[in-house]
Amino acid sequence: MIETACYIHIPFCDHKCIYCDFYSIITSDNIQSFLKCLKKEIGHYSEKFSEDRKLISIYFGGGTPSLMEPDYISEIIQTIKTNFVVRNDAEITLETNPGTVSLEKLKMFRNAGINRISIGIQSFNNNDLKFLTRIHNSETAIRTVNDAAEAGFENISLDLIFNLPGQTKKKWIKNLEQAIKLPVKHISAYSLILERGTILNKMVLDGKVKIRDEDFDAELYRTTIDFITSNGFYQYEVSNFAKPGFECIHNNAYWHYTDYFGFGTSSHSFINSERWWNLSSLKMYIDKIAQSGNAVVGSENITPQKAVNEYIMLELRSSGLNIKMFENRFGSESREWLKKKYHYFELLKNQNFVMMDDKIIKLTSKGYAVCDEILSEIL
């Protein structure tokens, strides 16, 4: 059976943060209608693909999935397990925002089948949190992590954002120091990205907010790598760090070009070299599911050349390009590509941007810092 990941997009939120460009809605309307349609969508794809698929992960993203009641999440998990073969040790993650869960609710999520919690903290600095318009403060963030551990979650991840307006190197290091004090096994640290259509992007365009330059951003990134990797975590992707054995299975599925289903509004799927994506609008999603069982608004077939490029990009961003796996997957195309690029990789190796031998090509921490530039040159 083909190992496959599964993403569920829960669009409901109690507040839209100024930097967020994910599809979300600030309303409690249609929560039950969405659940009904989500179950129908899962059943639709089960009829097409379930016989040869085994799910290795289920990931609830959003939006704010932790706003939902545990029974609501449990019903979705049970629907998936009824329609698909799910590996016994499948990783089942719930994105969680501080301020939306209590200790008791976390215990109920665990009983519902969640075995990994990803907590969107973003910063432990209260001024940063106010700027980002988060609903929680530092105290609530710390309590949420500790509550998750007390509720029985061993696999706890947290998200942080660096290069926020006014954030100094000293302030950022304090964030990292606080993070490693907590009972977490995984840290995702992202540079602030200005996304089109967000409130923050307009504030920058209007001159109300200033973002530090790329050099400062790169300095904070190097500081992040050095600090986290010297405190028991290792870097297994550009923005992700884990204690050994606690790499995110679901995200690794994306980075290693594994097939995945996406259910719910605005979600994407990648199955059998075809990619398709759903309508974002909740109303349109509900109407389309009711009519046809799916909510697809667009799709593309991945050409062999595009597949090679995407595979290389994802592998180099994560744990490295395994030569044997690359050749097993793409045959002569991979050997031809490696032959053309060998000289360039030799130059990168001499400058300490990559580590390379006859088994793997892997970015160093110095290489991760200029990953986009390297990939642009290679591809």
- Give the number of other CB atoms < 10 A from CB of residue 33: 15
Q: Does residue 67 contact residue 100 with C-beta atoms inside 8 Å? A: yes
Q: Residue 18: what are its φ and ψ, rounded to 5°? A: -65, -20
| CB-based contacts of 331, cutoff 8 Å, min separation 6 | none
The pLDDT score that the predictor gives to residue 204 is 74
pLDDT of residue 333: 85
Identity (one letter) of the amino acid at 349?
K
Cβ count near 305 (within 10 Å):
10
Q: CA-CA distance, 308 to 303, in Å (whole number)? A: 9
**Rounded CA separation 142/121 (Å):** 9
Closest CA to 2 of 62, 52, 59, 77: 52
Q: What pLDDT shows up at residue 209?
A: 77
What is the reported pLDDT for 250? Answer: 98
Say what the pLDDT of residue 174 is. 97
List the chain pLDDT tens, one digit each, 379 residues.
Answer: 999 999 999 999 987 777 777 878 887 789 999 999 999 999 999 999 978 899 999 999 999 999 999 999 999 999 999 999 999 999 999 999 998 999 999 999 999 999 999 999 999 999 999 888 888 899 999 999 999 999 999 999 999 999 999 899 999 999 999 999 999 999 999 998 777 777 777 777 777 778 888 889 999 999 999 999 999 999 999 999 999 999 999 999 999 999 999 999 999 999 999 999 999 999 999 999 999 999 999 999 999 989 999 999 999 999 999 999 999 999 888 888 888 888 899 999 999 999 998 899 999 988 998 898 999 888 8
Phi, psi of 165 (to 5 degrees): -55, 130
